[in-house]
Amino acid sequence: MGTLIGSLIVSNLISLPYLQWKIRKLSARASGRTTGRPGSKWAKGARPQLSGPACSSRAPVHVTRRERNSSGVSAISCPVFVELPIDVLYPYFMVQKEMVPAKPPKGLVGQGVSWYLENYLANLFAGAWEPQPEGPLPLDIPQASPQQVQRCVEILSRAKRPLVLLGSQALLPPTPSDKLRVAVETLGVPCFLGGMARGLLGRSHPLHIRQNRSAALKKADVVVLAGTVCDFRLSYGRVLSRSSKIIIVNRNRKEMLMNSDMFWKPQEAVQGDVGSFMVKLAQGLQGQTWASDWAEELRQADRQKEQTFREKASMPVAEHLNPVRVLQLVEETLPDNSILVVDGGDFVSTAAHLVQPRGPLRWLDPGAFGTLGVGAGFALGAKLCQPDAEVWCLFGDGAFGYSLIEFDTFVRHKIPVMALIGNDAGWTQISREQVPCLGSNVACGLAYTGYHKAAMGLGAQGLLLSRESEDQVVKVLHDAQQQCQDGHPVVVNILIGRTDFRDGSIAV
């Protein structure tokens, strides 16, 4: 839920000038994702026009804002672009002064031109001073019908090995996250959490399965895709077993049926709000239990995978620090009031396996397509909306290049956020695919740049972690936390080596 209309964030919390236009809309997006309220940015260079007579001539803007807010939170939550003609950004008297001659013109042609301009001006501002409704428009959020819910209840009640995949849509209003959590716990079905649903069940919840998703999907006899789509992340649906009964719930019909009847087929497709559906499903299955051996089988696979991670964390790397070990220490250090902003490729994908958000709406990532550059904007919006939270940003070194200059913004406005850069001197996620396929690492190599020094040049605090300080990782993380608590933005430049943790992973 973010609205792009210009270059200021305008909401109850955010009104700052930034260095990069893209940061403004990302801040609005983070505001909407963490609070559930639409975040807006609008009116490029228009601050002088936002007071006095200008406000009285913005009636069309009020109508547009109502439609924008309704569109941004109905159906699927998404950014809404609203373009305003420049005429409405200036007050009547200013446009009149520029458009209509001060002295009545002489001659028939001059009088005709003057009449035309006066008529155009009158039409342009016609109705501008008439009262306009400014309250919110009703939201058009689709809901599952009672019949659909009942059919899903019957399908799930007969399952022996049920599985739920919860995606970001599950956390959209109007269902509060606490109510959704109770519904998931009441349902009692093992689940995988993705996107903004990460952290919904906290840490170490027995129903939360984190690893081996593909293997679990192959074994499940009923799968509920709750706000999860069959795109490349689920191998376009090919990862689903042909013998499984699939229930899919999504606000958007096109997303819901993506690649269906090609690689997979839903038993029940429900176009409706995911959170509300999960609550109704849990109510319909009140008292239902499933054999404990299925959940225990999944948990055992989880434990085995995590043991593999611990073994990889203990392996030496050719140079610098082992990123797996570093991220394990980050996981151990991360406080309960933290918000995680992740922006990167290989380093961030590794973190997704190892680092857990401490609660719902506390994980902000670049989305399905890995859109690099979201980090600073997301961090800004998150910190301003939740000033008591510690904002931890996990950056890849390639991605950090998009956000570095915004530490000038953080310093000037005293916004303390902490950036941890996994610096492996390369576009490693691209390299993992490119080298095996093409036999060349061209355009994938970077340098072990001193990003901490660059941050210090902008007035932020800068810290370095390398092999020489291998036993100081936790201490440096605590030092960075203390600097943030003292009001300073901090960059920790972590020099890391290469591991085989993500061998076989590709990015297109």
DSSP 50-73: SSTHHHHT-HHHHHHHHHHHHHHH
Q: What is the pLDDT of residue 95?
A: 87
Condensed to tens digits (0 to 9), the pLDDT of residues 164-195 reads 999 999 999 999 999 999 999 999 999 999 99
The conformation of residue 289, written as its DSSP 8-state character, comes to: -
174 preceded by cis ω (within 30°)?
yes
How far apart are alpha carbons 504 and 475 in whole angstroms?
A: 34
Comparing C-alpha atoms, which of 494, 496, 361 is closest to residue 418?
494
Q: What is the pLDDT of residue 1?
A: 42
| Residue 30 reports pLDDT greater than 70 | no
Using a 10 angstrom Cβ sphere, with 0-12 exposed, 13-18 middle and 19 or more buried, the burial of residue 304 is exposed
Kindly compute the dihedral angle of the four CA atoms of residues 86, 139, 13, 373, in this order, to the nearest 10 degrees: -70
Mean pLDDT of 276-292: 96
- Name the 3-class secondary structure at 7: coil
Higher pLDDT, 465 or 124: 465
Percent of the chain clearing pLDDT 90 (strictly above): 68
Q: Which range (12-21, 404-413, 446-455) has the least confidence?
A: 12-21
How far apart are alpha carbons 457 and 477 in whole angstroms?
A: 21
Q: Which residues contact 249 (CB under 8 A, 6 or more apart)?
A: 144, 224, 225, 226, 227, 256, 270, 272, 274, 277, 278
Q: What is the pLDDT of residue 19?
A: 52
Mean pLDDT of 300-326: 96
Comparing C-alpha atoms, which of 264, 274, 202 is closest to residue 238?
264
Q: What is the pLDDT of residue 79?
A: 72
Residue 284 burial (CB count, 10 A):
17
How far apart are alpha carbons 370 and 504 in whole angstroms?
A: 18
Mean pLDDT of 325-337: 97
CA triplet 98, 102, 105: central angle to 5 degrees?
Answer: 115
Condensed to tens digits (0 to 9), the pLDDT of residues 344-356 reads 999 999 999 999 9
CA triplet 337, 338, 344: central angle to 5 degrees?
Answer: 170
| Residue 142 reports pLDDT greater than 70 | yes
Q: What is the pLDDT of residue 3?
A: 36
For residue 468, which amino acid is it? Answer: E
Percent of the chain clearing pLDDT 70 (strictly above): 84
Q: What is the pLDDT of residue 508?
A: 53
Higher pLDDT, 331 or 97: 331
Mean pLDDT of 78-90: 75
**In this structure, are residues 166 and 182 in contact, taking their beta carbons and an 8 Å threshold?**
no
- Residue 8 pLDDT class (50, 70, 90 cuts): very low
| Residue 54 reports pLDDT greater than 50 | no
Q: What is the pLDDT of residue 335?
A: 97
Q: What is the pLDDT of residue 99?
A: 87
Q: What is the pLDDT of residue 502?
A: 81
| Residue 10 reports pLDDT greater than 50 | no
The conformation of residue 150, written as its DSSP 8-state character, comes to: H
How far apart are alpha carbons 258 and 34 in whole angstroms?
A: 27
Q: Please list, residue by residue across 9-30, b when 16 or more beta carbons sit within 10 angstroms of its beta carbon and e when fewer do.
A: bbbeebeeebebeebbbbbbbb
Residue 115 burial (CB count, 10 A):
11
Mean pLDDT of 9-23: 49
Torsion 262-267-272-274 (CA) sign = negative
User: Distances in Å between the alpha carbon of 228 and those of 88, 196, 223, 247, 471?
Assistant: 41, 11, 11, 11, 41
How far apart are alpha carbons 318 and 499 in whole angstroms?
A: 9
Condensed to tens digits (0 to 9), the pLDDT of residues 248-270 reads 999 999 999 999 999 999 999 99
Q: Which range (50-59, 121-130, 214-223) has the least confidence?
A: 50-59
Token look-up 């072990």 returns 448
Q: What is the pLDDT of residue 191?
A: 98
| Residue 66 reports pLDDT greater than 70 | no
Q: What is the pLDDT of residue 77?
A: 65
- Residue 14 pLDDT class (50, 70, 90 cuts): very low
User: Distances in Å between the alpha carbon of 393 and those of 37, 173, 318, 420, 503?
Assistant: 22, 25, 26, 6, 24
What CATH architecture does domain 314-495 belong to?
3-Layer(aba) Sandwich (3.40)
Token look-up 């609660």 returns 359
Q: Which range (95-99, 284-288, 397-401, 482-486) has the least confidence?
A: 95-99
Equal CATH topology for 146-300 and 314-495: yes
Mean pLDDT of 371-400: 96
Q: What is the pLDDT of residue 409?
A: 96
Kindly compute the dihedral angle of the four CA atoms of residues 290, 296, 301, 304, in this order, to the nearest 10 degrees: 170
- Phi, psi values for residue 200, rounded to 5°: -55, -40
- Residue 41 pLDDT class (50, 70, 90 cuts): low
| Residue 64 reports pLDDT greater than 90 | no
**In this structure, are residues 317 and 497 in contact, taking their beta carbons and an 8 Å threshold?**
yes
* Residue spans per domain, the chain: 2-124, 146-300, 314-495
Please spell the DSSP secondary structure of 106-121, one letter per residue.
PSHHHHHHHHHHHHHH
Q: What is the pLDDT of residue 504?
A: 67
Condensed to tens digits (0 to 9), the pLDDT of residues 85-135 reads 777 788 888 888 888 888 888 889 988 999 999 999 888 888 888 888 888
Q: What is the pLDDT of residue 136?
A: 81
**In this structure, are residues 128 and 56 in contact, taking their beta carbons and an 8 Å threshold?**
yes
The third-level CATH classification (topology) of the domain covering 146-300 is Rossmann fold (3.40.50)
Mean pLDDT of 40-53: 41
Query: pTM for this structure?
Result: 0.83
Q: What's the mean pLDDT when you consider all of the chain?
A: 87
| Residue 58 reports pLDDT greater than 50 | no
